[in-house]
Amino acid sequence: MVKRLLEAGHTVTGYNRTKSKAQWLLDAGMKWGDTPRAVANVADVTLSMVANTQALQAVTSGPDGILAGLSRGKIYIDMSTVSPSAIRELARQVEAKGAEMLDAPVSGSSITLEEGKLSFMVGGKREIFEKVLPYLQAIGPKATYVGGHGLAASMKIATNLSLAVQMLAFSEGLLLAEKSGIARETAVEVLLNSVMASPMVKYRGPFVLQMPAEAIFNVNMMQKDLLLALEMGRQLDVPLPTTAITNEMLTAARGMGLADKDFAILFEALARMAGVKTGEVE
């Protein structure tokens, strides 16, 4: 994301907990801020993306946090997938500083980003959304305004639950075909060229043949999103039966020691239950 902003001609000051991981961006022209506060101090628009609600609180609060660096006229955009209620509370704190906030989580992955297909869903004031739209479109081509503070977070959670559910359904069909006598590679080819192949399934489906060395989105991260979805379902009286079942399968994967694997490892967990050897994870 930073690389795309730099390539679009924007001046970017960045912070990361481990500075060495940002060295390639510093080499590409990014400036360095020693703390989140330092970044917010110099930036007109500050963006953050972290793992969960607790991490968001860690980078925004305290004397070195983003909130401490905000002032009147500045804009803060968080792109994390976190609790909608946490976003609304944070927005109140941002506005108390005279600044404005948007929640703008993304749909996609590093693969989608590299392909130039990342999309945003954005919550907050529409006029602030219109103001920052050029920055968002420098990162990904599609940004959709969905409503007030926290609604983009709600939309992201509603989107993400389908990713894990789809992966589990893909695994079920694949194992059914394989145990009936069809070669796994052949079944994968057929499924990825069928009507059930969503964009996510098309790029993650091949992982059942060869898992990536580094997870794009691991089991723990996906389960965090499903737990957020289940909590929303309880609050809003929306039954989420397939989400609940998929969440239990993620727990099974964790119990098998697969928590750090991409959530496509759902196939491995289900295969073990079906008595199928994959040879992928020992």
pLDDT tens-digit series, residues 152-173? 999 999 999 999 999 999 999 9
Q: Which of 109, 130, 149 is the last residue of a domain?
A: 149
If asked whether residues 172 and 267 sit together in one domain, one would say yes
Q: Is residue 186 part of a domain?
A: yes
In this prediction, residue 34 carries a pLDDT of 97
Of 128, 149, 170, the position where a domain reaches its end is 149
Q: Is the domain of 128 the same as that of 211?
A: no
- Pair 54, 158 in one domain: no
Closest CA to 7 of 114, 119, 139, 109: 139
Instruction: Report whether pLDDT(111) > 90.
Output: no
Give a yes or no: residue 269 inside a domain: yes
Distance CA 200, CA 197 (A): 8
- Mark whether 105 and 11 lie in a shared domain: yes
* pLDDT tens column, 257-267: 999 999 999 99
Q: Is there a single domain that holds both residue 81 and residue 184?
A: no
d(Cα 8, Cα 142) in Å, to the nearest integer? 16
- Co-location of 162 and 191 in the same domain: yes
For residue 109, what pLDDT is reported?
76
Judge whether 15 lies within some domain.
yes
- Residue 56 backbone class (left: φ over 0; alpha: ψ -120 to 50; beta: rest): alpha
Same domain for 129 and 196?
Answer: no
| pLDDT for residue 108 is more than 80 | no
pLDDT attached to residue 92: 98
Q: Single out the residue of 100, 136, 96 nearest to residue 8, CA to CA.
A: 136
Q: What is the pLDDT of residue 263?
A: 98
Domain annotation covers residue 133: yes
Confidence of residue 280 (pLDDT cuts 50, 70, 90): low
Whether residue 278 is contained in a domain is answered as no
Please provide the average confidence, as pLDDT, over all residues in the chain.
95
| Residue 45 DSSP SS3 | strand
Active-site hit among 74, 156, 224, 261:
156
Q: Please report how many Cα atoms fall inside a 13 Å half-sphere around the Cα of residue 133, on the Cβ side.
A: 12
- Please report, for the domain that includes residue 92, its CATH number: 3.40.50.720
Whole-number percent of the chain with pLDDT over 90: 92
The mean pLDDT value for 101-115 works out to 85
CATH number at residue 159: 1.10.1040.10
Please confirm, yes or no, whether 3 is among the known catalytic residues: no
Q: Are residues 108 and 141 both part of a single domain?
A: yes
Q: Cα–Cα–Cα angle for 200, 104, 201, nearest 5°?
A: 5
Q: Give the residue, 118 or 162, on which the prediction is more confident.
A: 162
pLDDT bracket for residue 43 (50, 70, 90): very high
Three-state DSSP state, 114: helix
pLDDT of residue 146: 98
pLDDT digits (tens, 9 = 90+) for 202-248: 999 999 999 999 999 999 999 999 999 999 999 999 999 999 999 99
Q: Count structural domains, the chain.
A: 2
Domain that holds residue 224: 154-273
81 Rama class: left (phi>0) / alpha (psi -120 to 50) / beta: beta
- Model pLDDT for residues 4-22, shown as the tens digit of each residue: 999 999 999 999 999 999 9
Answer whether residue 105 is part of any domain.
Answer: yes
Both 19 and 136 in a single domain? yes
| pLDDT score for 115 | 76
Q: How confident is the model at residue 279 (pLDDT cuts 50, 70, 90)?
A: low
